[in-house]
Amino acid sequence: MTSSSARECSIANALAVVGERWSLLVLREVLLGNLRFDAIAAATGGSRDILATRLRTLVEAGVLERRLYSEQPQRYEYLPTQAGRALQPVLLALMEWGDRYVTQGPPPTVWEHSCGAELHLAAVCAACGAPVGSGESRLVRLGGVDRSSRSEPE
Amino acid sequence: MTSSSARECSIANALAVVGERWSLLVLREVLLGNLRFDAIAAATGGSRDILATRLRTLVEAGVLERRLYSEQPQRYEYLPTQAGRALQPVLLALMEWGDRYVTQGPPPTVWEHSCGAELHLAAVCAACGAPVGSGESRLVRLGGVDRSSRSEPE
DNA sequence: AGTAGTGGGTTGGATTATCCAACCCAGCAG
DNA sequence: CTGCTGGGTTGGATAATCCAACCCACTACT
């Protein structure tokens, strides 16, 4: 996975934490308030053994927190940490894209501004504030090795 | 997968298309202008057989387009479609989260605009066109069940 | 002509991951 | 004392991934 020639990138790092199967669906449920194991298993449709593994790794990664909510009998629930809540834009971006390009029919969910119009996530330039097309951007590697995407690397 | 009790959701639908291993990294490269098979394989670090499979499914899903760029010898490259370009917010959201919560030290790579400034993710109002602060938005679920969720439980 | 290199993949075999149903255990409730 | 709930674990089958090696059509070097 961590091949020496592979691009070093926070997208890949993020996916290493939440990119496995079911992880983002688990996050979706937890952010919706479905905190208990059985509820998560039912709502995601994932098998219980994998979900148990995912929940464990997400807790270890600091994305979720496992909390005892009943002493007798012992019962646990999963809460989002700050890092977990910070994944909301990722889920929102996926939802918007799925609404538009995958889901048949009208978007089941709409994100709207307080003025009533629809909201969308967009990549904007920090300086111009303008929306950015795909050809107008590039990844720049900091810290010595500048690996521009347009030129051939080595 | 398509369990009858699982939540119907565009997040899950989106992940069914681009949620497999390497898919989003392939998209990252293509959006950066790395269009050729060998370049994608080198930059992502994925094995060539899986990347060939991913590229095929992404083309079938309408996210990429396979185009002949040389007749003799026959050479192909992969271009993002409109749906592919629309995934940029997903990648940017993942990168921002990875920068903040996974990657140690400063961001190894920065996505920058052609003007030199950094790109970042923003919620923009379709009517106003203005950036939107937290608290001014809400999710509306159409089609019967209105599951209104607070924008940020902080 | 022979050799090496490039681009875009396939193939085979080993290793992991995922799926699914069944099971376990503790604490209740009838 | 039987069954139900919550939160998992176990075993075995199936699918996905990894890795190195190979293939083919062409071009470039010697």
The interface pTM score, or ipTM, of the predicted complex is 0.90
Confidence of residue A1 (pLDDT cuts 50, 70, 90): very low
The sign of the torsion formed by the CA atoms of A114, B146, B10, B79 equals negative
Nucleotide D4 C1' to residue A73 CA (A): 14
Max Cα–Cα distance, chain B, nearest Å: 60
Greatest mean pLDDT among A49-53, A102-106, A136-140 lies in A49-53
**A22 has a pLDDT exceeding 60:** yes
Q: What is the mean pLDDT of residues B118-133?
A: 80
Token pair in block for residue A105: 């029919």
Confidence check: pLDDT of A150 > 50:
no
Give me A122's structure tokens: 């967009």
Spanning CA of A37 to C1' of C28, the rounded length in angstroms is 19
Question: Residue B123 has what pLDDT?
Answer: 83
How far apart (Å, rounded) are the C-alpha atoms in residues B153 and B149?
9
pLDDT (tens digit per residue) in B42-97: 999 999 999 999 999 999 999 999 999 999 899 999 999 999 999 999 999 999 99
Q: Please answer yes or no on whether B119 and A124 come within 8 Å at the CB atom.
A: yes
- The reported pLDDT for the residue numbered B30 is 95
Please give the nucleotide, over all strands, whose C1' is closest to the CA of residue B45. D18
More confident residue, B129 or A56: A56
Nearest to B33 among A86, A127, A149 (CB): A149
Mean pLDDT over B5-16 rounds to 92
CA–CA dist B53, B72 (Å, integer): 24
Range list of H helices, chain A: 10-18, 23-32, 37-44, 48-60, 82-85, 88-101
Beta bridge mates, A111: B139
- Ordered structural domains, chain A, with CATH: 10-86 (1.10.10.10)
DSSP letter assigned to residue A93: H
Q: How confident is the model at residue B137 (pLDDT cuts 50, 70, 90)?
A: confident
Distance, CA of B130 to CA of B4 (rounded, Å): 40
| pLDDT of B121 higher than 70 | yes
Mean pLDDT of B18-37: 96
> Is the pLDDT assigned to residue B150 strictly greater than 90?
no
Residues 6+ apart with CB under 8 A from B20: B54, B57
pLDDT of residue B79: 97
Query: Is pLDDT of A144 > 60?
Result: no
Reply yes or no on whether the pLDDT at A122 is more than 90: no
In the prediction, which pLDDT does A3 show?
A: 44
- Element (DSSP H or E) covering residue B91: helix B88-101
Nearest Cα to B43, choosing from B58, B32, B59, B56?
B32
Confidence of residue B135 (pLDDT cuts 50, 70, 90): low
A151: exposed, middle or buried (C-beta count within 10 Å: 0-12, 13-18, 19+)? exposed
Tokens representing B3 are 């369990």
With beta carbons less than 8 A apart as the criterion, state whether A2 and A31 touch: no
| Residues forming a β-bridge with A64 | A80
Mean pLDDT of chain B: 87
Q: Which of A9, A120, A132 sits opposite B113 (nearest CB)?
A: A132
